[in-house]
Amino acid sequence: MKKLLIFLLLANVSLFAYAYVERMNSSAQAAADRYKPFNADQVKSLTAQQVAKLGPAKVAQLTLACAEWGPLSDADRLKAVKLLEPLVLGRTMSSRRVEVTAEHWVYIPPKASRPAADRSMADLKRLEVADRAVVLESGPWNFAISLGVFRTKEGADARLAELKAKGVKTATYRQREQTVLMNALVLREPTQAILSKLEELKAQVAGTVVTTGACPETRT
């Protein structure tokens, strides 16, 4: 009787062990199946050298990236949107605000008082000058009229020439590093044709560049 009980006990232990091993093997196989690449035979890996040969436009398409055109002042943003209208980009185009550190400043020297600055602002409005603002800060630039901050001297020179053509004789230029909020136009998953067109159009808005990369998470 005692031997029979021992035999039954050992049989139960063996059965439990077998069931446990089978369950672990099933779980492992399920995990392997879950992480098996979908259509793995159709996936082609590229080396770094092969990716480099594709060029930035093709890489942007492969990674479902975005193209960004900027930085743009408020007036330049409107101009850029107008230039892009023939492409009928619809909802694939959006814009976002970007912080830009710039050191090329176009401005009218400080006025003696706030009323004098306001009169200067009214004159600029009559001349249809956009992107104008009274500087309100302690220090030597209080009551100056800011007419644009640019990342490049080229952009500042273009702005100054535009202002002179409109009759703003007191506009001038200096280097002064500032952090300003500007705009960037974001184009989602652009085609090669659109990227080529952007490269052409950026020359019409001085100081701007076109870049490609991961799409920004936040847009405004």
Evaluate whether 67 touches 190 at the Cβ level (below 8 Å). yes
**pLDDT of the residue at 73:** 85
pLDDT level of residue 66 (50, 70, 90 thresholds): very high
Distance CA 195, CA 60 (A): 10
The pLDDT-based confidence of 117 (bands split at 50, 70, 90) is very high
CATH architecture, range 66-107+146-213: 2-Layer Sandwich (3.30)
Which of 13-17, 106-110, 214-218 shows the highest mean pLDDT?
106-110
User: Where does the pLDDT of residue 43 fall: very low under 50, low under 70, confident under 90, or very high at 90 and above?
Assistant: very low
On the question of pLDDT at 119 being above 60, the answer is: yes
Range with the poorest average pLDDT among 14-23, 25-34, 62-71, 73-82: 25-34
Token pair, residue 151, equals 């990342």
Query: pLDDT-derived band of residue 65, with 50, 70 and 90 as boundaries?
Result: confident
The DSSP-derived string for 56-124 is HHHHHHHTT-EEEEEEE-HHHHHHHHHHHGGG--GGGEEEEEEEEEEEEEEEEPPPSSHHHHHHHHHHH
pLDDT per residue over 131-173, tens digit each? Answer: 899 999 999 999 999 998 888 898 899 999 999 999 999 999 9
Domain-by-domain residue ranges, the chain? 2-36, 66-107+146-213
- Segment 162-202, tens digit of pLDDT: 999 999 999 999 999 888 888 999 999 999 999 999 999 99
* Contact predicate 107/170, CB 8 Å: no
